[in-house]
Amino acid sequence: MLAEFLAARRYLKQRSQPGQGDANSSDGGYSLIPQEEVGQSPGSCSNLEEEEVDADKEGSPKEEGGVTLSSHKRILWRLFGLAMQEWSYLALGLVFLVAASISQALLPRLTGDVINSIVIDKSEEDMEEALRSLTLFSLLCALFSGLRGTCFLVVNTKMNIRIRKDLYQSMLKQEIGFFDQNKVGDLTSRLSSDTNKMSDQIGLNLNVCLRSVVQSIGLLAYMLLSQWRLTLVTFIAVPLVSLLSKVYGHYYHLLAKAVQDQQARCNADAEEVIGSMRTVRSFGCEEEEVRRYEQELQEILRLGIKQASAYTGYMFCFTGAPLLVTVAVLYFGGHMVFTHLLQPGDLVAFVFYQQSLSQAINSIGDVYAGLMQAAGAADKVFDIIDRRPATCPPSSSCSFSSASCSSPTHSSLLLSSSSELSKEQLQGSITFQEVSLVYPSRPDALVLDRVSFHIDPGQVVALVGSSGSGKSSCISLIERFYEPTGGEVLLDGLSLSSYDNSFLRRHISLVGQEPVLYARSLLENIAYGLGREVEEAELRRRVTLAARQACADEFIMRMEDGFSTHAGERGSHLSGGQKQRIAIARALVRNPSILLLDEATSALDTASEAQVQKAIDESMKGRTVLVIAHRLSTIQRADKIIVLSNGLVVEQGTHKELLEAGGAYAELVSKQVSID
């Protein structure tokens, strides 16, 4: 029951940042007045985590809210394993912790000696001697506390960096369907706030826990040995607050989960709108989006008011109880002084010890609830770290499942090539055998239905069809963004899933309709994907050659900084045609065997389209090309045209053959001609 009381206190305490409870606490401080608690501000949920962890097995014991105790225990052991990787800093911090605790334990006793020398002995010499001892141990306590905090902060920082690296690494290894099913805001929240909660609550609260446990044992032992009667008085409020905590803890926990969910929805909506600001501006929907956001905030406010009301009851019960205990100790202790059973200085020292013990026990309670928060955050983070990508062959090491015991050196998520093909070259033949596809985000929609076709090495093949016919889905399968629901995709006669993913990325390049450029130099954007193993001189040679093949060197060399020109966020410093040519150069820099072009000119104006088309024509030479295009001239030059409709292949052949057949392709061409 006492643990539940302390856990409830933690949920109700507001901290300005994770781990603040330790950073701002004073090891050497003790006061007759309990430290003031600051309530959770309405709408704030930065330190409250929804603790939804699946049961390990049916019948597992559960806490309120459906959180399994066994899952929490397993996750916490894993987190402690991460912290223990910095055992040298932990050991050093423990030494400083013990030294600080011993120094602090002497302070109330020395304070009592000062008071006795004034009130009873009336000796100025004794007073000065006691003050010198008090000053010395106060300084030692402060010094050891600072050194201890430094050690644990280093553990916290190194642990946070390791978790973030492993999580980010795992995210980038997931299949594209994973990103379709998860919002960007949720994933960045895992990467930032959740990893901070994990490292802060474990790294810093481990410091608080060890300090508080050592202090509590020492203080309680001294109190029982010196004044056991007053020690019993100290614990008279435990049954009452234990009962009240069960009620407040459960109610407040439900409110905290509701605020957390609403805050996440609010953040996701805001991120979606800010990320598509051009669309919002073009439709003039700024005010409408503000109104929608305000409605979300009003719901947070409503829940926040409920939290504030619950906090009022909490403050009355749990702040009043320690004050009444102090009054009771002073009442009984005062009578003991009057009957000469206790000296005044000893009573003051005991009150200081009682307050220090109260703060230490409260800190242990903070740690308990903090660990529960860390477990809730860690559950979501470890789910991603341990997740096996759907495009990863069963024999490959695509997941990271030993974060609790592996060093960063051994936590690599790179695909194993021991049982996968990693040939020197790819000839470039592509075969679809009865391929079907259903997207994970749309499980009821059959996107491709038993699609079959073959592309010989070096052929230029055009995929044609109306919007939604499945053209881009074919390219996504070749890129292995998704796994086929049925059938098989073959490269050079071998299953796509048997190849090493890194090999596929080196020999297959994609240019999409809306190229994504990064806020880096043009050189870095074009060289993206070459890898660090390429020497700088060779890298510059390849980049220059790719830029020339993509007809991008013309405008690059006219720029003041040339290849060092910064592209801006999402390529904002470049025109649409320039961005597309940089994207083509990026695709060609690795000299791929297969080039995939997905509507690479559809979003450009006529002048830019002509420039990019010239680059595309150059890029097609000497490689297998699968192109989705709306330009009739590009389609006509293709060696083969495959016509898709509603996920089915309805026609295949050359431009001339399909026109003579008078089928779906002839109809599309006539529509294109009439539009032009």
Judge if 264 and 323 occupy the same domain. yes
Range of lowest pLDDT (429-433, 500-504, 532-536): 532-536
Residue 95 domain-assigned? yes
Residue 659 domain-assigned? yes
What is the total residue count of the chain?
A: 676
The pLDDT of residue 490 is above 90: yes
Band the pLDDT of 98: cuts 50, 70, 90: confident
Spatial strand order in the sheet of 594-598: 508-511, 594-598, 624-628, 460-464, 640-645, 648-653
3-state secondary structure of 652: strand
Which helix or strand (DSSP H or E) is residue 635 part of? helix 632-636
Judge if 622 and 493 occupy the same domain. yes
3-state secondary structure of 338: helix
Judge if 147 and 218 occupy the same domain. yes
How high is the pLDDT of residue 501? 80
d(CA 131, CA 287): 67
d(CA 602, CA 529): 25
Residue 234 domain-assigned? no
Judge if 320 and 185 occupy the same domain. no
The pLDDT of residue 35 is above 60: no
The pLDDT of residue 606 is above 80: no
Residue corresponding to tokens 């791929």? 592
How high is the pLDDT of residue 243? 67
Q: Output the CA angle 575-580-581, nearest 5 degrees.
A: 100
CA–CA distances in Å: residue 658 to residues 532, 635, 651: 47, 12, 8
Judge if 366 and 332 occupy the same domain. no
d(CA 106, CA 219): 10
- DSSP states of 383-420 as a string? HHHHPPPTTS-TTS------TTT--GGG---PPP-TTS
d(CA 383, CA 187): 12
Which residues neighbour 440 within 8 Å (Cβ) at sequence distance 6 or greater? 177, 178, 180, 181, 390, 482
Residue 350 domain-assigned? no
The pLDDT of residue 367 is above 90: no
Judge if 373 and 490 occupy the same domain. no
For the ranges 95-109, 317-331, 512-526, the one whose mean pLDDT is highest: 512-526
The pLDDT of residue 482 is above 50: yes
**Chain segment 441-481, per-residue pLDDT in tens:** 788 889 999 999 999 998 889 999 888 888 889 998 998 88
- Contact yes or no for 355/326 (Cβ under 8 A): yes
Tell me which amino acid residue 247 is.
V
Judge if 633 and 543 occupy the same domain. yes
Residue 59 domain-assigned? no
**Chain segment 240-269, per-residue pLDDT in tens:** 666 666 666 667 667 777 877 888 888 888
- Can you give the CATH number for the domain in which 468 is found? 3.40.50.300
d(CA 121, CA 125): 10
**Chain segment 563-578, per-residue pLDDT in tens:** 888 888 878 888 888 8
3-state secondary structure of 567: coil
How high is the pLDDT of residue 640? 92
3-state secondary structure of 639: coil
Band the pLDDT of 15: cuts 50, 70, 90: very low
Judge if 366 and 443 occupy the same domain. no
The pLDDT of residue 525 is above 60: yes
Judge if 550 and 604 occupy the same domain. yes
- Contact yes or no for 227/104 (Cβ under 8 A): no
Judge if 333 and 370 occupy the same domain. no
The pLDDT of residue 153 is above 90: no
Residue 370 domain-assigned? yes
Question: Between residues 308 and 138, which one has the greater pLDDT?
Answer: 138
- Can you give the CATH number for the domain in which 205 is found? 1.20.1560.10
Residue 44 domain-assigned? no
d(CA 430, CA 443): 26
Mean pLDDT of the chain: 74
The alpha carbon of 563 is separated from its chain's Cα centroid by a whole number of angstroms, namely: 34
Identify the domain containing residue 317 by its residue range. Answer: 247-341
Residue 318 domain-assigned? yes
Judge if 597 and 469 occupy the same domain. yes
What's the mean pLDDT in 328-337?
81
Question: Between residues 83 and 401, which one has the greater pLDDT?
Answer: 83
Six-digit token string for 623: 């490689």
d(CA 655, CA 665): 9
Judge if 461 and 540 occupy the same domain. yes
How high is the pLDDT of residue 432? 94
190 DSSP 8-state letter = I
Number of domains in the chain: 3
